[in-house]
Structure 1
Amino acid sequence: MTKNKKHFTLLIFIGLLSLVVAGCGSKSQESVIKKIEGTLGDMNGYKVEAQMTMKTGQEERSYEVDVWYKKGQEDFYRVGLENEEEEGGQVILKNEEGVFVLTPALKKSFKFQTDWPENSSQPYLYQSLVNDVLIDKEATFTDTETHYVFLTKTNYQNSTNLPYQEVSFDKKSYTPTGVKIMDKDKNVLVEVTFDGMDMNPDFAKSDFDREAILEETLADTSVSNMDQLEEISVMYPLKTLGAELVEKQEVTIDEGERVIMTFKGERNFTLIQERTDVVPTSGDMVQEVVGDVVNLGFSVGAITNNTIEWNYNGTNFYLASEDMTMEELIDVASSIEGQEIK
């Protein structure tokens, strides 16, 4: 055999050996995605608890998140969010009636005309994380000792401040273990950590029933047992986009009080805070919203083209502006975050 032929044969052997070694080592990005997608597709439902930490405002805030998903002709979702500063927490619910945000302590429901959760990234939903991985053709992939890690773009309809996320999937179960959502400079502003996943849960019919959830949660919160709620503590936005407070009105309403603040500048807006003394004892208040679900970092509310409405610790807030974009409305509303000025 000539010297050139020996050299050529050696190169072929080395190439084949490399392929064998590679095949025995890390899996390809495509095969991992296929496995993750298949694992989700085989589920009839799941339950998972998570811890969500948000650093998007002046203060870091943490939520306990309880996610239930039931697969069917129409998929059902129930996402409970609680933090230690708010009585009773809130529940995002999707059932045969529609999409709701429930505030059980006030027996109050927002009903949305929306295609949530498909319309935007949802960091605590398995389906949303998988979908973000699938649709981002430029997603990067890392194979660690215990996890498959994807860096993908996000799809937050009303905010461009969180364009990236890092999603970690367990190598044995192919289920998510953590999410880090980042700004354009790759600073982590939202982090979600999952605490195991029940991939074969049992559900009762009442688990996704709006009235049953309100009654069940209301029974566990002290707010419902109070004859009177505390006096309203007026809160101010830390971000005003250059506008200044020019008028403040305090108005007595039936069984409560209302504070109306008018801000003037390049971006005019009105902030209304309202607190009532009596929680309804029967039935619940359902308010139809032609808008979408928005997470403000301390509360989940409803956003339309020029308004946001939410509840925080028994006080209803309404922020309205004809001059702001939806992203600017969220920015101002998020900056209130319970900061009291008396």
Structure 2
Amino acid sequence: MKRVISLLVVFTAVLLLLAACGEKSQEDVMNDLDKTLDDLTGYKAEAEMSIQTGEEPQVYQVEVWYKHPSYYRVSLSNEGDEPSQIILRNDEGVFVLTPALNKSFRFQSDWPENNSQVYLYESLLGDILLDPERSFSATDDHYVFQTNTNYTNKNLNQQEIMLNKKDLSPASVKIMDVDLEVLVQLEFSTFELNPEFNDGDFDMDRNMTYAQWGMEVPTLGDGQTEEEEDGSFTVLYPMYTPQGTGYPEIEEVETANGKRVIISYEGDEPFRLVQQKNQVMEASTPVSISEGKPVDLGFTQGALKVDGETTSISWSYQGTDFFLSSQHLDEENMVAVARSVYGTEEK
């Protein structure tokens, strides 16, 4: 009898040892994520973001710096190594910088709170921890979560978040629509947890100056081709329009700063899209104060503003300024239209 009891004790100990060496349960991983989020003082990350907007994906390089509790620097680049846009948050507010144009906008905004953010680690962890409908699985090297999202664009419905088992750092994120078609994909290449930051890393003036050191910033009237001098640019069209919106009317207007193209969509939910070649601002131009809020368009950050019954979104992209306005579209549809402005038409 003593021998049987002894064997049972040994058998139980072996089972406990095997369990301890096996896979962590979802509850174990969730506890680890909760602790990681509580202990987070900052991070630096680099990733490649691919946006599926048509036949060919648009690819961007993303660099993220975060310092607890609310300092952010997000650099987006789609050509070369220099940033085409920088999003900053510091004690003075939220800034959107376009270094090549000497443009700076400041928002009184709670960005990036209250919405999912595909390239922010703490946002991804929050989406996992707060979603009671999440699913969980594990591979040899990764933990994989599928969760609901909280984007203004409701077409970005679900996400798959892959974390490295070794240290719970982010490996990849896929944002999908309701049919699980991947619309946005992010592949992390580097991730440094709790790094040291220097004074001025999140300062607006310093970031604008440093970004311009790495690129050739044109001055007004210099370095323009003959085509650029006459205000020519590629006109883009939204690939998404709300149901009941009719074929657009197109008007070209000559202004002191070149050609302006106005595309007016009529129907049940009319809207207007204005495009004009953007202008490089003088170096002494002060920061513009926007009454709106920053809105993520995927390929760039726009400024969304509500003025009475009119909602508008303005943004710059690949040498052109865009202004979208409507008295009939809600914010979700406005963002959806703006996100889809990448189509061209032979004229």
C-alpha change, 1:117 and 1:170, in structure 2 (3 Å) is same
Q: Which amino acid aligns with 1:335?
A: S
Q: Under a length normalisation based on structure 1, what TM-score does the superposition of the two structures give? A: 0.86
The aligned runs of 1:192-341 (5 Å cut-off) are 192-225=186-219, 227=222, 229=224, 230=228, 231-233=231-233, 234-241=235-242, 242-253=245-256, 255-295=257-297, 297-305=298-306, 306-337=311-342, 339=344, 341=346
Aligned-partner Cα distance in 2 for 1:85–1:200: 28
CA contact (8 A) 1:256 1:276 kept: no
SS of the residue aligned with 1:185?
coil
CA contact (8 A) 1:88 1:218 kept: no
CA contact (8 A) 2:252 2:259 kept: no
Q: Which amino acid aligns with 1:154?
A: T
C-alpha change, 1:212 and 1:176, in structure 2 (3 Å) is same
| 1:208-238 residue CA offsets vs partner (Å, 9 max, x unmatched) | 1112111221232234257155233232223
Correspondence 1:114 to 2:109: yes
Aligned-partner Cα distance in 1 for 2:344–2:77: 19
Aligned-partner Cα distance in 1 for 2:302–2:103: 12
Q: Under a length normalisation based on structure 2, what TM-score does the superposition of the two structures give? A: 0.85
Q: Which of 66, 70, 76 lines up with 1:69 in the alignment?
A: 66
Q: Which of 36, 39, 53 lines up with 2:33 in the alignment?
A: 36
Corresponding residue for residue 172 of structure 1:
166
Aligned-partner Cα distance in 1 for 2:205–2:332: 32
SS of the residue aligned with 1:141?
strand
**Offset of 1:68 from its aligned partner?**
0.4
Q: Which amino acid aligns with 2:277?
A: R
Aligned-partner Cα distance in 2 for 1:223–1:338: 28
SS of the residue aligned with 1:222?
coil
The aligned runs of 1:21-100 (5 Å cut-off) are 21-71=18-68, 74-84=69-79, 88-100=83-95
More displaced stretch, 269-278 vs 115-124: 269-278
How many percent identity over aligned positions?
Answer: 43
C-alpha change, 1:277 and 1:23, in structure 2 (3 Å) is closer
CA contact (8 A) 1:112 1:293 kept: no
C-alpha change, 1:54 and 1:277, in structure 2 (3 Å) is closer
SS of the residue aligned with 2:126?
helix
| 1:279-302 residue CA offsets vs partner (Å, 9 max, x unmatched) | 31224442313233222x332212
SS of the residue aligned with 1:337?
strand
Any stretches of 5+ residues in structure 1 without a counterpart?
none
Aligned-partner Cα distance in 1 for 2:83–2:42: 25
Aligned alpha-carbon RMSD (Å): 2.8
Q: Which amino acid aligns with 1:259?
A: V
Q: Which amino acid aligns with 2:332?
A: E
**Offset of 1:195 from its aligned partner?**
1.2
| 1:118-149 residue CA offsets vs partner (Å, 9 max, x unmatched) | 11101111100000011101211112211111
Aligned-partner Cα distance in 1 for 2:196–2:232: 42
Q: Which amino acid aligns with 1:175?
A: S
C-alpha change, 1:258 and 1:178, in structure 2 (3 Å) is same
Aligned-partner Cα distance in 1 for 2:61–2:240: 27
CA contact (8 A) 1:82 1:90 kept: yes
**Offset of 1:56 from its aligned partner?**
3.7
C-alpha change, 1:43 and 1:331, in structure 2 (3 Å) is closer
Q: Which amino acid aligns with 2:169?
A: T
Any stretches of 5+ residues in structure 2 without a counterpart?
none
The aligned runs of 1:149-168 (5 Å cut-off) are 149-156=144-151, 158-168=152-162
Aligned-partner Cα distance in 2 for 1:92–1:84: 17
SS of the residue aligned with 1:194?
strand
Q: Which amino acid aligns with 1:266?
A: D
Aligned-partner Cα distance in 1 for 2:71–2:54: 31
Aligned-partner Cα distance in 2 for 1:128–1:57: 27
SS of the residue aligned with 2:116?
coil
C-alpha change, 1:86 and 1:108, in structure 2 (3 Å) is farther
Aligned-partner Cα distance in 2 for 1:31–1:210: 41
CA contact (8 A) 2:149 2:157 kept: yes
